[in-house]
Amino acid sequence: MSEFDCVRIDKDEAGYRARYAQISDADLMPGDVDVEVIHSAINYKDGLAVTGKAPVVRRFPMIPGVDFVGRVTASSHKDFAPGDLVVAGGCGIGEAHFGGWARMARISGDWLVPLPQDLSTVEAMAIGTAGVTAMFCILALERYGMTPECGPVVVTGAAGGVGSAAVALLARAGWKVAAVTGRPEEAEYLKSLGAQEIIDRAELAEPGKPLQSQRFAAGIDTVGSVTLANVLSQTQYDGAVAACGNARGMDLPASVAPFILRGVSLLGVESVRPRLALRREAWARLSRDFDRKALARMTETIPFPQALERARGIVEGKVRGRLVVEIG
Ligand code: NDP
């Protein structure tokens, strides 16, 4: 029985704590595919998991890491064989099922997608759950009928992981992107991803009128709360906003005015459920459409021993773009 490094989260009479630990094959949770993890990432949710700031972890002990990429070492699943490179994300990984912050993972093959051929393992994790979520938002807007010809699109929490991916993907698709950030020092970074306008987060921070000047045709919101309420109030007739995050708050102090007086639609996006067909569609689009230079600009790769400290920083808004963690 081999032992390997992991990050382990416990909650018991001694309190809530996350630390580096050792685990063995026998401790892994059930699954029909064994994966040697190569890279994982740090998502906002991983920050919540290691700090305990929100109850995202649903069983203890838990290994965080809501997404990972690795090589299959054993499989009884029909779609996967030893040697295959695979990507995992969502599906309760790192929340209810052991995640990617360990040298080995055992997981259901139904939660895996083959690594797209033209993506490296680092690129796949640079995209990761953040990129998949941004793509789910874009697919939701497209299904609603939104195109770059409709007008500008706004992205909130733009310097974060989901936000950076959304800015880069929308700009590449021809949208005029307005990026909302609380970090003016990241304006050049956001422009390098393709943002045409930078909006100070403070402009959308205070409660405003139910209907405000129409600035945007569409939106991707990662922040929630008053910010999302203001985005809705500033969305033009027949526009749509895809909401996927709550970095500011879970609340939505809005009125129905944008919906009933301007025909604005609010599209909910979640990337956790397995929905394999949608996941495969998202990965195909991501590997086709993500500008590799933009992806490199928004990515920092860190060694595993730094993961815990950096995860604590993400919930304080200290992380720009995507943090990829070298596991294997
Ligand atoms: P990050 O921490 O990388 O990005 C969040 C960004 O939100 C920050 O970088 C910051 O952007 C902005 N922000 C943070 N605090 C505030 C605040 N108080 N007011 C306004 N803006 C704020 O996180 P991720 O990109 O990984 O995730 C973003 C959100 O999306 C999270 O809430 C996460 O839980 C959610 N999410 C949801 C998924 C789903 O399935 N629905 C899947 C993945 C993520 P800036 O510095 O530019 O202002």
Listed by start position, the domains of the chain span 3-115+298-326, 129-268
Question: How far is ligand 1, taken at its centre, from the CA of residue 311, in Å?
Answer: 13
Closest ligand 1 atom to 272 CA: 40
Q: In the structure, which protein residues have their CB atom closer than 6 angstroms to any atom of ligand 1? A: 43-45, 129-130, 133, 157-163, 181-183, 201, 222-223, 227, 244-248, 269-272, 314, 317, 319
Closest ligand 1 atom to 164 CA: 25
- For all residues of the chain together, what is the average pLDDT? 97
Question: How far is ligand 1, taken at its centre, from the CA of residue 175, in Å?
Answer: 21
Mean pLDDT within 136-152: 98
At 19-50, the pLDDT tens digits run 999 999 999 999 999 999 999 999 999 999 99
Ligand 1 pocket test, pick from 48, 138, 222, 250 with the greatest ligand atom count within 8 Å of Cβ, gives 222
Closest ligand 1 atom to 190 CA: 47
3-state secondary structure string, the chain? CCEEEEEEEEEECCEEEEEEEEEEHHHCCCCCEEEEEEEEEECHHHHHHHHCCCCCCCCCCECCCCEEEEEEEEECCCCCCCCCEEEEECCCECCCECCCCECEEEECHHHEEECCCCCCHHHHHHHHHHHHHHHHHHHHHHHHCCCHHHCCEEECCCCCHHHHHHHHHHHHCCCCEEEEECCHHHHHHHHHHCCCEEEEHHHHCCCCCCCCCCCEEEEEECCCHHHHHHHHHCEEEEEEEEECCCCCCCCCCCCCHHHHHHCCEEEECCCCCCCHHHHHHHHHHHHHHCCHHHHHHCEEEEEHHHHHHHHHHHCCCCCCCEEEEECC
Confidence of residue 291 (pLDDT cuts 50, 70, 90): very high
Q: Does domain 129-268 have CATH number 3.40.50.720?
A: yes
Confidence of residue 245 (pLDDT cuts 50, 70, 90): very high
Examine the pLDDT at 1 and tell me if it is beyond 90. Answer: no
Question: How far is ligand 1, taken at its centre, from the CA of residue 34, in Å?
Answer: 31
Q: What's the CATH fold of domain 3-115+298-326? A: Quinone Oxidoreductase; Chain A, domain 1 (3.90.180)
